[in-house]
Every structure is written in C-alpha cells, then in structure tokens.
Amino acid sequence: MGYEAAYAGTSFATFDSSAPALRLSGHARTGDRTTPHGLATVAIDHEGVAAQSFDLVRDGTLVGYQLDRAIAAATGFDRSNGCAYADSPSTSDPAHGQRLPPAGRGRGADDGRPDSRRAQRLYIEGDKSWSIDMQRHNFQFTGQRFFRIVDGKLAGQVRDVAYQASTTEFWGAMEAVGGRSTYRLGGAFNCGKGQPGQVAPVSHGCPRCS
C-alpha cells in the first residue's frame, strides 16, 4: 500500500505485467496459518478470520498475498486470508498489522533427496549477517561455518564466504527439491514490521534444495 515503505520497504513482486518472472515452475509456495507447530499458527486471526492455507506462488506465477480485511478490500480481493496480527491488546492505531503466516516451499513429489554430486557446491551453517534491498530483490548473506561439497560429501572448510544474488536469480538456479524426509520448519520470534512497530513470530518451512 506504500505507507510502510520507509520502515519495511516495498516489493518487486507485484501482479502487474512488468513484474519479473519468479521461475518456480512445478513447485508451490504457500502461506498456511494452520501449519502444525508453526510459530505463526493460530485458530483465528486478530480480526476473527479463521486460519487457512493459501497459495503465494503456483507453477512459477505469483498468485497471492498475505491479507487482512482492510488490505483485501483496498486491493480488490474477495476476502482476508487471516493475516491480521497485533502484538498486544494495548497496541496503538493501527490496531494490527498484516503479518506473514507460516510460509513454505512445497515438498518434492517423492521422498528423494537432491543430487549434490554433479558439481562442487558449498554448505553453509548458521547466519552471521544478511541484508536485502528495499524492493526485496537483491540480497546477500554470510554464515558461521562453510564447507565444500565434492561428490556429495563434505570436503573441508573454507573461509570468508559471502553469497550475493537476486531473488529471481536465486530461485531460478534451483535444480531439485527434496521430499518429505528433508523438510524442516524453522522460524524466529522477533520479526518487526509496521509503523508504529510491532513484533511477531514467524515460521518458514523448506525441504532440502539444490
């Protein structure tokens, strides 16, 4: 809507025809307020809307957003998908923000694992620093430990690794998605957004990818 841009930025991922292709063909990305053990899982949101699951990306195309009642009405959607969240009963106006539900990348069709033997790769543990531009397009991150992967096995540590890419480049380079046994649900308790600021827990689930 624009009113949060100074604090939270905006996004390149819009529904207009000029939006870059996300190139995620064959795999879905969903928002799901009913995710078992998700940090943002609820029965109803803070506007009384029932928790639900909805598509964000389907067959490589952006098809949905997180919505509360006001944003749904203002942007032409039929209804909220249950993403209203206030971090306390005493929060000042606006009384709530629209906040991300547990979000995740779909699992692969079978229970297999991505093949990491075809090229030399890096395995990164932990997080040390990260940043993303105000359009959510270009990003960088570092970790705490870094290992080479050669022929599918860890092959010694390396130093001073930083990964830089664009969102579309990153997802467009993905070759394979693991199955159910590789899926993990992570999250954080301290995601801050809004003006005035509010803090909310978030979860993100993903299978192993390469």
DSSP 178-210: --GGG-EEEEEEEEEETTTTEEEEEEEEE--B-
Q: Tell me the pLDDT tens digit for each residue of 158-175.
A: 988 888 998 888 877 777
Residue 18 predicted with pLDDT over 80: no
CA–CA separation, 202 vs 189, rounded Å? 6
Closest CA to 206 of 22, 13, 25, 28: 28
Strand-pair partners of 105: 29
Comparing 137 with 61, the larger pLDDT belongs to 137
Evaluate whether 105 touches 27 at the Cβ level (below 8 Å).
yes
Per-residue pLDDT of 70-106, as tens digits, reads 889 988 889 999 998 888 777 655 566 778 788 876 5
Chain-wide mean pLDDT for the chain? 80
3-state helix, strand, coil in the chain (%, to 5): 10, 35, 60
At residue 111, the pLDDT reads 55
Cβ(181)–Cβ(111) under 8 Å?
A: yes
Mean pLDDT, rounded, for 123-151: 87
**Is residue 200 over pLDDT 90?**
no
Domain ranges of the chain: 1-112+176-210, 115-175
Most confident of 51-60, 76-85, 110-119, 128-137: 76-85
Instruction: Identify the CA nearest to 208 among candidates 108, 60, 103.
Output: 108
Cα dihedral sign, 18-20-25-30:
negative
| Closest to 185 measured CA to CA, from 40, 16, 9 | 40
Read off the pTM.
0.76
Structure tokens of 116? 């990491």
Q: Give the contacts of 154 (CB within 8 A, at least 6 positions apart).
A: 123, 147, 148
